[in-house]
Chain A
Amino acid sequence: MTLDDIIKETNTFYCLECGKCSSICPISRYNPAYSPRVMVEHALLGLEDDLVYNRELFSCLTCDACQPKCPSDVNYPLFIQKMRAIASNNGEHGECAHSGTLQSLTRLVTNPAIKQRRLEWLSDEFHTSDRSDVLFFVGCAPYFEHIFDFETKSIDIIKASLKILNYFGIEPVLLPNERCCGHDMLWTGDVETFKRLAEHNAALISESGVKKIIFSCPECYQTFKENYPNYVKIDCELQHISEFLSEAIEKNEVSFKETKRTVTYHDPCRLGRHMGIYEPPRKVLEAVPGIELVEMKHSKEESLCCGTSAFTNCDLYSKQIRVERLLEAKDTGAETLITSCPKCQIHFRCAMVNKGEEKGPDVEIEVMDMVNLVANALEEKN
């Protein structure tokens, strides 16, 4: 795909240079060198090299804050995604966080011969089956447990999700050799690897013969729903666990214990702005008796980002965005910050652990995934 095609596909040509994107962009607020408007201008002037070899191309969080504000409907996240594919072909990969460990792992799992040991945490308390209509997509959580030097609690999200599914009498299929969904690869421009991962997953899923896939990770969910159809065919109903739960609550199929807690909800960009799921998680939280949900200053469409996407260019600015978000959460007076994305949780935890040399503001707040809270509040069935 050439620059001209990208400009046509993403409506970049209609840019009015009004600068609304740059005013809303979370990165631009801290990093004056980055401006979505300037990036688009470079594209319109045909300065392809200035874009491709620009460090800031990988600074974009693809958080989709700019697109809804754009009067000309320029699809800036898609523009960045496609530009990064060109950059990646030219050997530019951005500065990968954790020295690129996560990217390397993703490339490694494209190998068809590997037999992963992803499900070793699975104990007898969870019921899974080989023949079920429902598949639970685990995602990268088994790897996250080992990659980071602080507690990520990613596997707890998976365990809580299984507990919830078991509560409703669903014994989901788990794929022992499931591959990464490829979200990070797609958004850092490595389309080849993404295609291979998509093909692996599509083959595994069609082999298992399931009719519905449930996700606890919004990134996997978005990738399956929006990006996989361009490459592979998946004939299944796709559902995020928050949608699943809110449906069950509507049908009155669930009863909760009283849980006294004031919480605030952080909308992950993939679930919120990308997929438009704002209400289901809130509905779930409000259904738990004793939970008081307070909104942050920026919530729903206006929600701030957790500061990094696809594990690239995690820098000082990312940290500042994170601290800002955590302070906002603390300002609400809530005890717990609830999110529904394992990566948001990792990034927030990282900001709280790695404080740096200078003593910054106190950002300590309990971070928890929505499913953990729900799983703890479930009333035992007799």
Chain B
Amino acid sequence: MNEFEPVIIAFCCNWCTYAAADIAGTSRIQYPHNVNIVRVMCSGMVDPIYVLRAFEGGADGVIIAGCSYVDCHYINGPVKCDAMFERLKGIVHTLGLEDERLRREMISTSESIVFAHVVEEMVGQLKKVGPSPFRKVREDITV
């Protein structure tokens, strides 16, 4: 049997984390291929529905990553994201999903190594936790 390969959806802010992921690519930093990046303009625009739909579609884990408080392009995006994330954590926890499946990160443009490290760490955790119960909803998803 093939080893379980988790599917991770990462919502990355255009200004910091997406650029960090981009630089990680161009600098040839190795990180697992399980992550699917969705570019958003700000981490503050990520709505709980984005994450729930990701789980509904069969994702095993979701990362929401953006600028730190001082870097934000839109003044207070990370603050909004934090408030949303608190509520989201509650929803996901009540649903019975493991806390490891959801992660909030602040990765600025120059921290491409941090991005690679976060993805690596999360893939490791998710391999231990196992596939999400919603995974079989869509079996055609492959990484």
**Chain A contact residues, CB within 8 Å of chain B:** 98-101, 104-105, 107-109, 111, 113-118, 120, 142-143, 145-149
Contacts and interface: CB of A to CB of B under 8 A. Distances in A.
Contacts of A114: 95-97, 133-134
B53 interface: yes
A147 B134 contact: no
Interface stretch (B18-26, B61-69, B86-94): B86-94
A105 B96 contact: no
Q: When A and B form their complex, which 7 residue pairs have the shortest distance between CB atoms, in order from nearest?
A: A146-B90, A113-B133, A99-B49, A104-B52, A115-B96, A116-B96, A146-B91
Looking at A104, A114, A116, A143, the one whose CB has the most chain B CB atoms below 10 A away is: A104
A147 B56 contact: no
A195 B137 CA distance: 17
A107 B56 contact: yes
- Main secondary structure on B side of the interface with A: helix
Interface of B: 47-49, 52-53, 55-56, 83, 87-91, 93-97, 133-134, 136-137
B56 A101 contact: no
Nearest to B93: A117
B90 A145 contact: yes
Contact of B52 (A105, A113, A116): A105
Contacts of B56: 104, 107-108
Contact of A104 (B53, B83, B93): B53
Given A109-B95, A146-B88, 8 more contacts: A101-B52, A105-B91, A116-B96, A117-B96, A143-B94, A146-B87, A146-B90, A147-B91
B52 A108 contact: yes
Nearest to B86: A146
A40 to B, nearest CB: 33
Contacts of A117: 93-96
A108 B51 CA distance: 12
